[in-house]
Amino acid sequence: MKILLDTADVNAIRRAYEYFPLDGVTTNPSILAAAGRAPYEVLGEIRDLLGKDGDLHVQVISRKAEDMLAEAQRIREKLGENTFIKVPVTPEGLKAIMLMKERGIRVTATCIYTVQQAFLAGKAGADYAAPYVNRIENLGEDGVKTVQRMQDVYDANGFGTCLLAASFKNTRQVTGLAEYGIGAMTLPPDILEGLLKNPCVDSAAEKFIADFETLRGPGATMLD
């Protein structure tokens, strides 16, 4: 299971990489808009942080397949050929995914709300497919179960596409998919940090320190 960070906040990425076992960064046009900076400037900084082999996912904006392909080529020139190109699974997007795969471009099918879209993205040969867990829940469906069904479709058909679950709003959604063993998930920094936020753990760790200090004095550690 890969864990990626869903943000273009360079400081947040740097901090999260220090404390968590991470595999890459995903962005989308809304995330870039929130960063409020020139897109290739911020994406270049993220690429430098990840190194040339780090997983970086960047979305195209155009509506027509041929224009999406041109954008994909520009993104790869600017950020490296191993950059994953995110393409919404619309009819034009599906066409673009096939054009990109014919040219050996790494593709992340995105904007996935339904099992049908995930099925078609897998059939078209996308490397990753990104279903939106919480947005699915906002439509009244069970987001975790829907993504699990997508994994079942891939397993049943032997598709090589890996699910990259996105749009998380709580840690229950994260563990629900971790238990099922999907390929990857991308988390906003607050949800990632929420996986370790637990006052019981903090107070247990503090109690160990305090007990040891009663034995060996304030500030003592196993170095002493």
Q: Which residues are catalytic?
A: 86
- Angle formed at CA 184 by CA 186 and CA 131, multiple of 5 degrees: 65
Q: What number of chain residues touch ligand E4P (CB under 6 A)?
A: 11
CB-wise, 82 or 157, nearer to ligand E4P?
82
**CA-CA distances (angstroms) from residue 103 to 28, 69, 73, 126, 144?**
23, 10, 10, 12, 33
Q: Which stretch binds ligand E4P (CB under 6 A): 36-44, 64-72, 131-139, 148-156?
A: 131-139
Q: Which stretch binds ligand E4P (CB under 6 A): 60-68, 126-134, 145-153, 208-216?
A: 126-134
- Name which position in 5, 7, 25, 28 contacts ligand E4P (CB under 6 A): 28
The residue written with tokens 């034009």 in the block is 92
Q: Which stretch binds ligand E4P (CB under 6 A): 99-107, 116-124, 130-138, 172-180?
A: 130-138
The answer to whether 9 contacts ligand E4P (rule: CB under 6 A) is no
Closest CA to 88 of 50, 44, 40, 132: 132
DSSP 114-155: SHHHHHHHHHTT-SEEEEBHHHHHHTTS-HHHHHHHHHHHHH
Minimum distance from residue 186 beta carbon to ligand E4P (Å)? 6
CB-wise, 26 or 148, nearer to ligand E4P?
26
CB-wise, 39 or 212, nearer to ligand E4P?
39
In the shown chain, the binding pattern of residues 58 to 97 toward ligand E4P, with x for contact by CB under 6 A and - for none, equals ----------------------------------------
**CA-CA distances (angstroms) from residue 55 to 18, 19, 66, 166, 194?**
17, 18, 24, 15, 23
* Count of CB atoms situated within 10 Å of the CB of 177: 24
- Name which position in 7, 26, 117, 151 contacts ligand E4P (CB under 6 A): 26
- Report the interface residues with ligand E4P, using CB under 6 A: 6, 26, 28, 110, 130, 132, 134-135, 166-167, 186
